[in-house]
A = this chain, B = another copy of it.
Amino acid sequence: MAEPRIGGDMTAAERVLDRADELASHSDLPDGIERVYLSPQHRAANDLAARWMREAGLVAWEDAAGNQCGRRAGAGDQLPAVLLGSHLDTVPGAGRYDGILGVLVAIEVAARLRDAELPFALEVVAFGDEEGTRFGTTLLGSRALAGTWQPEWGGLTDADGIRLADAATAFGLDPARFGDAARTPEELLAYLEVHIEQGPRLEDADRALGVVTAIAAAERRVITYTGESRHCATPWDLRHDALLGASEAILAIERVARAHGSYATVGRIHVEPDAVNVIPGVAAFSLDLRDETATGRDSTWERILHELEAIAVQRGLDLDVSSTHLAPEVVCAPELRAAFASGIAATNDRGSDEPMELFSVAGHDAMAVAAVAPVGMLFVRCRGGISHHADESVRADDVALAIDALEAAVLQLAAEYQPS
Contact = CB atoms under 8 A, between A and B. Distances in A.
Nearest to A204: B235
Contacts of A206: none
Interface stretch (A43-51, A180-188, A242-250): A242-250
A199 interface: yes
A365 to B, nearest CB: 15
Given A250-B244, A280-B267, A362 B231 contact: yes
Contacts of A360: 233
A200 B228 CA distance: 15
Contact of A232 (B231, B274, B290): B290
Nearest to A280: B267
A361 interface: yes
Given A233-B362, A385-B238, A386-B230, A271 B278 contact: no
A5 to B, nearest CB: 32
A247 B258 contact: no
Contact of A276 (B267, B271, B275, B384): B267
A265 B277 contact: yes
Nearest to A268: B274
Contacts of A274: 267-268
Contact of A235 (B199, B229, B275, B387): B199
A263 B361 contact: no
A269 B266 contact: no
A278 B270 contact: no
B275 A268 contact: yes
Given A238-B385, A251-B251, A267-B279, A288 B199 contact: no
Contacts of A199: 233-235
Contacts of A271: 267-269
State the number of copies, please.
2
A362 to B, nearest CB: 4
Contacts of A267: 232, 243, 271, 273-280
Interface residues on A, range: 35 or more
B276 A232 contact: no
Contacts of A231: 198, 362, 387-389
Given A231-B387, A270-B270, A278 B265 contact: yes
Contacts of A54: none
A254 interface: yes
A266 B286 contact: no
A286 B271 CA distance: 12
Given A236-B263, A248-B251, 11 more contacts: A199-B234, A232-B288, A232-B290, A232-B362, A236-B254, A238-B385, A265-B276, A267-B276, A268-B274, A269-B269, A277-B288
Interface of A: 92-93, 198-201, 220, 229-236, 238, 241, 243-244, 246-248, 250-251, 254, 258, 263, 265-271, 273-280, 286, 288, 290, 360-362, 384-389
15 contacts: A199-B233, A200-B235, A220-B276, A220-B277, A229-B389, A231-B387, A233-B263, A233-B387, A234-B385, A243-B269, A247-B247, A266-B280, A267-B276, A269-B270, A278-B388
